[in-house]
Amino acid sequence: MANALVWLRRDLRLHDNPALAQAVSDGYAPVLVYVHAPQEQGDWAPGAASRTWLHHSLIALQQAIAEIGGRLIIAHGQSLHELERLQAETQAEALYFSNLYEPILQARDGRVQAAFEQRGLTVKRFNANLLFEPWQIKTGGGTPYKVFTPFWRNASAQLSLRQPYPRPDRLPDFGGTGLTIDALGLLPERDWHAGFWQYWQPGESGAAEMLDIFCEGAIDGYKEQRNLPDRTGTSKLSPHLHFGEISPQQIWRRIERVRLSESAQADLGHFKSELGWREFSYHLLHHFPDSSDRNLNPQFERFAWAEADPELLSAWQRGRTGIPIVDAGMRELWHTGWMHNRVRMIVASFLCKNLRMHWLHGARWFWDTLLDADLANNSQGWQWTAGTGCDAAPYFRIFNPVTQAERFDPQARYIKRWVPELSALPAPVVFAPWTKPAVSAALAPDYPSIPVADLAESRQSALAAYSRR
């Protein structure tokens, strides 16, 4: 039986893996390869939190492959060089891999494909991690969409779920040469990430368990519950999706099997639209490849962003702004590698509008600290809140973090969990401690007494800057 290289990247799973399944179906003995090449991702090489997840995800995949007789070959270096070396070692006749969509990686993958095909080898590529290829959905005029609602209306009408790709029963163990996962140096010297793993289980089985938890406990009521950060009202599937430990096709098929009341059908539809926003983000990144670093709305190229103040930025990053809901979110991020989506919007609005710092400062911090850091989602999420993107919240929509906390964390359970020095403060003081300085000084002496920005003044300053753009 001839060998074929199966180049795994962000499709770290055995179930519903089109590249792996098709290689087996085509009669090849699949040689499973992971090449670590962060330098090929340019300025957006994986951040520290992502690297820790990748370490554990590779271990989980390695174990799953070993359980059915195979071995995952680990390499580190330049992708084309390592793949050519392994092809020579294995005498592989074909290369199978799933698509990535970051512009710099699309170009790299094109070079790999061309090099293999020039040598007469078969190359097959697949969509493993999206419902649609980013170039597949177009307007009636053949142009890319810039507004989500018509994009998703068109995409939904075209959606046809394929049959799941089968997991191989057995895999061959090709000897070959390879590195250990530890040799990739993915873990930081300081174990600041140790607390993450009480909340997360990287790998395919962890993804399946998280999906089950969501379907059994959170999808009913999702539309409202997803806004409340003190409870598990979201799927928390984003890191698993980013690393391809589960596919959106698998998620869609599973949620369709959930028995819901008629009133809960809106919850199901809303969750599907969240998957749609992920598709839209990839659509935008593909068609506007500079959007990871530049404003999609060119009017903001002239916007008067404030000069980044290192002390203010550090206070935001460390959760010491004096704004409780903002600080709670930033501390949740640091301790768990994740932040509730409603709170992501609040902390982003505060940075981009009250502090008027360019959204890239926030995007870079999220990139380094989020386990689910994803270039398409991260870029479009920050541009949405900053008001600089396609179909974005307008810049003049400035979240008031106090009223947001009062509405979405009315018992202050989320705030008090992540900012425990405020646990003795009663409502409504806990939402804005500076309004009752005597009470706060007595009951929360270790918390900043004055916020880093006056909410009313900074709002007016942001609106004035917007009017001058």
What H or E segment, with its residue span, contains residue 6?
A: strand 3-8
Place of tokens 């140790």: 194
Alpha helices by DSSP H, listed for 38-147, are 48-67, 79-90, 103-118
Q: Clarify whether 200 is annotated catalytic.
A: no
Query: Which amino acid, one-letter code, is at 48?
Result: A
Catalytic residue among 192, 305, 334, 434: 305
Closest C-alpha to 122, from 2, 211, 288? 2
Strand segments, DSSP code E, in 117-257 are: 122-126
Catalytic residue among 89, 274, 406, 421: 274
Q: Clarify whether 297 is annotated catalytic.
A: no
Catalytic residue among 367, 382, 384, 418: 382
Q: Clarify whether 382 is annotated catalytic.
A: yes
Q: In angstroms, rounded to a whole number, what is the distance separating the alpha carbons of residues 279 and 131?
A: 7
Q: Clarify whether 277 is annotated catalytic.
A: yes
Q: How far from 302 is each of 163, 305, 361, 364, 400, CA to CA, in Å? A: 49, 9, 17, 21, 25
Catalytic residue among 152, 359, 365, 367: 359
User: CB neighbours (10 Å) of residue 431?
Assistant: 22
Catalytic residue among 341, 400, 421, 434: 341
Residue 197 sits at φ, ψ, to 5 deg, of -80, 0
Q: In angstroms, rounded to a whole number, what is the distance separating the alpha carbons of residues 62 and 76?
A: 16
Instruction: Determine if the peptide bond prior to 289 is cis (ω within 30°).
Output: no
Catalytic residue among 192, 197, 252, 277: 277
Q: How far from 57 is each of 52, 73, 170, 177, 441, CA to CA, in Å? A: 9, 14, 20, 21, 45
Q: In angstroms, rounded to a whole number, what is the distance separating the alpha carbons of residues 152 and 145?
A: 10
Residue 246, classified by CB atoms within 10 Å of its CB into exposed (0-12), middle (13-18) or buried (19+), is buried
Q: How far from 273 is each of 69, 123, 267, 351, 412, CA to CA, in Å? A: 39, 34, 10, 27, 29
Q: Clarify whether 274 is annotated catalytic.
A: yes
Q: Clarify whether 44 is annotated catalytic.
A: no
Within 13 Å of residue 418, how many CA atoms lie on the same side as its CB?
A: 27
Catalytic residue numbers read 274, 277, 305, 341, 359, 382
